[in-house]
Amino acid sequence: MKLIEAKEQFTQLWGALGSSWGINRTMAQVHALLLISSEPLSTEDVMEKLSVSRGNANMNLRDLMNWNLIYKEHKAGDRKEYFKAEKDIWEVAKRIAKERKRREIQPLIASLNSLVLIEESKKDPEAHDFLMMVESIQNVVTKMDAAVDTLIKAEESKFFGAIVKLLK
C-alpha cells in the first residue's frame, strides 16, 4: 500500500470509529486528518481534502477545539487560521475521557441521585427492588467516574501498569 492510500484509509477508519462511539463522523475525520498531517491545515485545506462545505469544516474544527483536541495556529504574514492537533495519543485519550466524563457521566450521576428520592417506602417490595437497582448503578457509575479521574491524572505507564498487575 502507498502512503497516500494509507492516509486515506486511516481517515476513513477514524471516522467510522467515531461514528460507532457517538462522535460525528466528519469531526473524527477532520481529527484524523490533522493527526497525520505534518503541517497545520487551514479551513480550506480541510474542505478540499475531505470534500466538505465551508460550514461543515468550520463547525467541526470549532467542535474539535471545544474538545481540546486541536489548536489554532497563526502563520506569520498570513491572515488565515491554521489548525494543528495534539499528537500525543495518550494525551488525546485522556482529553476525550475528560470531556465525555464532564458531558455524560456527571449529568448521569445527578439524574440517578434524583431517582432515589421516590416517595414510596423501602418496605414496598416494588420500590425496594427499584431502589436496589438504581443504587447498584450509582455504585458502579461512581466508581467508573473515579476510575476516569485516575486515568486523567495518571501517567500512561502507571495506569496500564496497575491494570497489568491484576492479570497476574
Partner DNA sequence: CTAAACTTTCAAAACTTATTGAAAGTTTAG
Partner DNA sequence: CTAAACTTTCAATAAGTTTTGAAAGTTTAG
What is the contact surface with its own copies in residues (CB under 8 A)? Answer: 1-3, 6-7, 9-10, 13, 17, 19-22, 35-36, 38, 87-90, 93, 104, 108, 111-112, 114-115, 117-120, 124-127, 129-130, 133-134, 136-137, 139-140, 143-144, 146-147, 149-150, 153-154, 156, 158-160, 162-167
CA separation for the pair 1, 67 (Å, rounded) = 32
Among 58, 105, 141, 152, binds DNA (CB under 7 A): 58
Among 14, 26, 46, 159, binds DNA (CB under 7 A): 26
How far is CA 158 from each of CA 43, 94, 148, 161, rounded to the nearest angstrom?
Answer: 38, 14, 14, 5
78 makes contact, choosing from DNA, its own copies, none, with CB < 5 to 8 Å by partner type, with DNA
3-state secondary structure of 54: helix
Task: State the nearest-atom distance from the C-beta of 73 to DNA, in Å.
Answer: 11
The residues that bridge with 81 in the sheet, in sequence order, are 74
CB burial readout 100-131, b (16+ within 10 A) else e: bbeeebeebeeebeeeeeeeeeeeeeeeeebb
CA separation for the pair 111, 62 (Å, rounded) = 29
For DNA, give the closer residue by CB, 16 or 146: 16
Task: State the nearest-atom distance from the C-beta of 37 to DNA, in Å.
Answer: 16
Binding residues for DNA restricted to 69-98, rule: CB under 7 A: 78-81
The C-alpha cell at 37 is: 498531517
For DNA, the binding residues (CB under 7 A) are 19, 24-27, 42-44, 51-56, 58-62, 78-81
